[in-house]
């Protein structure tokens, strides 16, 4: 069986002893083993339960770096988690990632995290498939955007329409020639903004945050 509390306590003890690298290694070792167990269907936990536990560990690992004020490392941990075949589709992971960026005042990056989870980007489809999780993410995205646009009357449908019209349309566009492809790749490194009707505030940025 996989015990998240034991792993977190062990990491916390090392962190309290000012052994940040040791604490990181506790999480890294557990994650490697547990992800292998999930892939192989071993370890004694039901698949969904083990998926939840692995997601919990990824979030705790990112939070460890956050507590150490190693914000770049925390971002790298979240990015690694989103690429994890087990935890990557979990809405709770993406929600914590977006909140982390929002707390740091990186609203463009937080917006993009929501977009990657909900609609994907030019390289990947939407990461989260579970409808209940998507509903939570959309509502949190809406809450943040109401604050960012200073438009408390912004509706969920207006937000969805803006994303569909601008962001998803941009994702689906394909260059016709090789030169266009190079230009598109370069443009993908810049922020792409979506305007919400009645507001001059930006809705989203078009690229994953730097790790």
* Tens digits of residue pLDDT in 10-29: 999 999 999 999 999 999 99
| Token representation of residue 193 | 């903004």
Q: For 166, which DSSP code?
A: I
Residue keyed to tokens 């939070």: 63
Q: For 164, which DSSP code?
A: I
* Pair 146, 154: CB distance under 8 Å: yes
Residue 4: pLDDT band by 50, 70, 90 thresholds? very high
* Pair 134, 91: CB distance under 8 Å: yes
pTM, two decimals, is 0.81
Burial 113-148 (b: 16+ CB within 10 A, else e): bbbbbbbbbeeeebbbeeeebbeebbebbbebbeeb
Range of weakest confidence among 6-10, 97-101, 113-117, 175-179: 175-179
Q: Tell me what pLDDT residue 166 has.
A: 75
Task: Give mean pLDDT, residues 149-167.
Answer: 93
Q: Tell me what pLDDT residue 43 has.
A: 78
Residue 82 has pLDDT above 50, yes or no: yes
């Amino acid at each position: 069986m996989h015990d998240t509390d034991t792993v977190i306590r062990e990491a916390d003890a090392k962190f309290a002893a000012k052994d940040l690298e040791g604490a990181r290694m506790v999480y890294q070792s557990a994650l490697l083993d547990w992800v292998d167990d999930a892939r192989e269907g071993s370890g004694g936990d039901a698949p969904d339960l083990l998926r939840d536990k692995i997601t919990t560990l990824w979030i705790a690992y990112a939070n460890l770096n956050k507590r150490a004020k190693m914000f770049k490392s925390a971002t790298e941990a979240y990015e690694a988690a989103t690429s994890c075949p087990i935890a990557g589709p979990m809405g709770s992971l993406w929600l914590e990632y977006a909140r982390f960026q929002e707390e740091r005042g990186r609203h463009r990056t937080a917006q993009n995290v929501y977009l990657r989870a909900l609609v994907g980007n030019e390289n990947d489809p939407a990461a989260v498939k579970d409808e209940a999780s998507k509903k939570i993410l959309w509502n949190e995205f809406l809450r943040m955007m109401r604050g960012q646009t200073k438009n408390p009357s912004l509706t969920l449908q207006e937000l969805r329409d803006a994303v569909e019209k601008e962001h998803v349309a941009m994702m689906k566009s394909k260059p016709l020639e090789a030169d266009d492809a190079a230009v598109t790749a370069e443009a993908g490194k810049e922020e792409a903004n979506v305007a919400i009707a009645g507001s001059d505030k930006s809705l989203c940025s078009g690229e994953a945050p730097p790790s």
